[in-house]
Structure 1
Amino acid sequence: MSRSHLARPAASVVGALLAAALLTPGPAAAQPHRAAGSAGCGTPTDLTPGTSTTRSLTVDGVRRDYLVHLPASYDEDRPTPLVLSFHGHGRTSDYQERLTGMNALDAVVVYPQGVTGTDGKSAWEGAPYSAGVDDIKFTKALIGQAEDDLCVNPRRVFASGKSNGGGFAAVVACRLADRIAATAIVSGAFYPQSGDCAPQRPVPVLDFHGQADDTIPYDGNPDKGLPALPDWLAGWAERDGCAASPRETQVKDNVVVPRWRSCDDASALEHYRITDGGHVWPSTTPNEDSATPTTIDATPLIWKFFTEHPLPKN
């Protein structure tokens, strides 16, 4: 069933910030749609641009639901980026849609819904409380469905998420590096149950984490097997062939951004370390996570990072 995208107080602010963030895009962002389109290009869709629609598909006999939002600018003849946005533990696709403001992006945005896990709350693969379903297979099916039904740019398919959903976005980067161009993670939960990470290629990674996060501590939680963020980032620096030590930039009084240099194959690794940040999606206006604004907005920063890192040509 379809429903119109509801205007929210944060939406206009996010839109303005996105426009400002993209005034000076990187070289790769100059022509974000100039690429061969997916199988769905040139085919009319029953989805209405500017609205969100609930859809479902069946994977391994399990019905899987998701929200899909078409940008108002959607054109069936113009290959459009695809962004997957995974909600946190116990949350919903609708919550993630409201939280992130990603409907303002010039992209098809899919908000998948997790399956109820062992603790009675929605979850994603790789967490100790997950349902045991194959969420990677579900993600591949979602990408395939979007590419078949819509005009999607296959070189600009991205994964993002918050908390357990952020941890799963990292799992997607580990296992679907041939399909995902880059990933962005907010307050990620990187449980050992995620398994080994051996991506087929260097994957650009953007990460946000608050040092005051009491849910997924910045310094890790040995009892739960959660790594300290510096250790997790060092692992990605090694996978991406980056220089061992990052160059740090203070962008706000409470925000430092380490960026790793000389990564292989034009990959990238960036991290926003928020000294007083809690377990929230950073936003300069109140959002679903917190009534207290932060000093940075994650969504426009994520979009800028995505536009600069398409999937390399074969």
Structure 2
Amino acid sequence: MSRPSRLRTAVLLISAVAAILPSAAATAAWSEPRTALADGCGKTPPQPPGTSALQQIRSGGLDRTYQLHLPADYKSTKDWPLVLAFHGRGSTGAATEKFAKLSTLPAVVVYPNGVIGTGEGDRQAWQGAPYSAPGVDDVAFTRDLLDSLERTLCVDDRRVYATGKSNGAGFTGILACAMADRITAIAPVAGAFYPNGISCRPSRPVPVIEFHGTADATIPYTGDEDRGLPAIQSWVRQWADRDKCRKSLPQRQIGADITITGRTDCQGGVEVEHVAVSGGGHTWPGADSYSGGGVTTQTIEAHEVLWRFVRDYRLPR
């Protein structure tokens, strides 16, 4: 893409993203100042600022790992937002960090690693999928991980955002159902939303922004009845219904392949958004290295769009 074309796209993105940000009223309702810092504030971090490194935690009788990225300007005297990024089946946290660009955000970013599940090959996976490791409670692992991070790092426990790709994206949906007390907002990309038997009764309205390619051959946009996968638009509508959203946002178009729809006037001042990538594959929008099969749009950068959506949301006290 030529430089002038990139500039025009940037202008379109800025104007379109402005329309999908939480309203001023919502921001005010969710952004009261904190009165106390986390336990990890004032402590020396486990690695130097500006680095990514593999860390370990014991959870559920297992040694679990995660890739931790600290911003270059990380200091333990202020609390930082926290982004959890869950890899797809057979991938790793480190691999996800390479293509997702989340480590460029002004946040502490954690890329957990799943446990090897069932099926062909040694493929790490997350709870809720038919191929996940039997008996592994990844929801409990996420709670343990957050507890550990809050003890060792200066992070804002009211600004914990979860994103992920494919199976990892599907797991963010489970976290929104089961851990709305700890997860502020979710941003699944190419999500595999398998039926999982977990009752979805979140304790509060959860902001959601979902990205999906209409030509995704792995997790079809229109659903897959044989695997119990819902149509993506139906899954988004279910979240809008849970959040009791009453109004539709005006449809926005970015370039030739990005359509943004959503619902607003929801309980708690949240919004629910859907970013459809026309002709997009099982990929991470904006990735400049391999992130899955099919076309990868460069019209938007998923990490930028999801950050603008989630960053002003905070858990209520």
TM-score w.r.t. the length of structure 2 is 0.87
Structure 1, unpaired ranges of 5+: 1-12
- Measured against aligned partners, the alpha-carbon deviations of 1:41-99 in whole angstroms (never above 9, x if no partner) come to 12222320000121111112111011111101111010100110000011011111111
Corresponding position of 1:57: 57
Does the 8 Å CA contact 1:166/1:187 hold for their aligned counterparts?
yes
CA distance in 1, matches of 2:258, 2:14: 17
Q: 1:102 maps to which residue?
A: 102
Secondary structure at the counterpart of residue 192 of structure 1: coil
Contact kept, 8 Å, 1:55 with 1:67, in 2: the verdict is yes
Distance 1:66 1:32 in 2: 29
**1:68-83 map, 5 Å:** 68-83=68-83
Q: Taking structure 1 as reference, are residues 193 and 289 closer, same or farther at Cα in structure 2, changes over 3 Å only?
A: same
Distance 2:225 2:46 in 1: 49
Structure 1 outlier segments of 4+, above 3 Å: 20-29, 31-34, 244-247, 290-293
Q: Does 1:146 align with 2:141?
A: no
Shift of 1:306: 1.6
Q: Which residue of the partner structure matches residue 129 of structure 1? A: 131
Residue in 2 that maps onto 1:296: 300
Equivalent residue for 1:92? Answer: 92
For the residue of structure 2 that corresponds to 1:235, the secondary structure is: helix
Match of 2:214 among 206, 211, 215: 211
Aligned to 1:6: none
- Counterparts of 1:49 and 1:274, CA distance in 2: 35
Measured in 1, the distance between the counterparts of 2:234 and 2:183 equals 23
Q: CA deviation at 1:34?
A: 4.7
**2:227 paired with 1:227:** no
Aligned mate of 2:160, from 157, 176, 198? 157
Shift of 1:37: 2.2
What is the DSSP-based 3-state SS (H/G/I as helix, E as strand, rest coil) of the residue aligned with 1:161?
strand
Larger CA deviation: 35-44 vs 166-175: 35-44
How far has the Cα of 1:194 moved from its partner? 5.3
Distance 1:260 1:246 in 2: 5
Specify the alignment match of 1:179 in structure 2.
182
Q: Of 181, 195, 199, which aligns to 2:198?
A: 195
1:7 matched to which residue of 2?
none
The CA distance in 2 between the partners of 1:244 and 1:156, in whole Å, is: 26
> Partner residue of 1:4?
none
SS of equivalent residue, structure 1 residue 110: strand
The count of corresponding residues between Structure 1 and Structure 2 is: 294
Alignment RMSD (CA, Å): 2.4
How far did 1:195 drift? Answer: 2.5
- SS of the counterpart of 2:151? helix
- Work out whether 1:263 is the aligned partner of 2:266: yes
- 1:246-282 CA distance string (max 9 Å, x none): 5322222211111202110111100101111110000
Q: Measure, in 2, the Cα distance between the counterparts of 1:122 and 1:191.
A: 16
Aligned to 1:109, the other structure's residue is in SS state: strand
Give the aligned partner of residue 3 of structure 2: none
Q: For the residues of structure 2 that align with 1:114 and 1:301, how far apart are their CA atoms? A: 26
- List runs of 5+ in structure 2 lacking aligned partners: 1-5
Write the deviation string for residues 208-251 of structure 1: whole angstroms up to 9, x where unpaired. 00110000000000000000012111110110010265532222
* 1:282 matches 2:285: yes
* Same amino acid, percent of matched pairs: 43
* Residue aligned with 2:196, SS: helix
C-alpha deviations, 1:273-294, integer Å up to 9, x for none? 11111100000x6222268543
Q: TM-score, normalised by structure 1?
A: 0.87
- Equivalent runs, 1:31-70 vs 2, <5 Å: 34-35=33-34, 36-70=36-70
Question: Secondary structure at the residue paired with 1:208?
Answer: strand
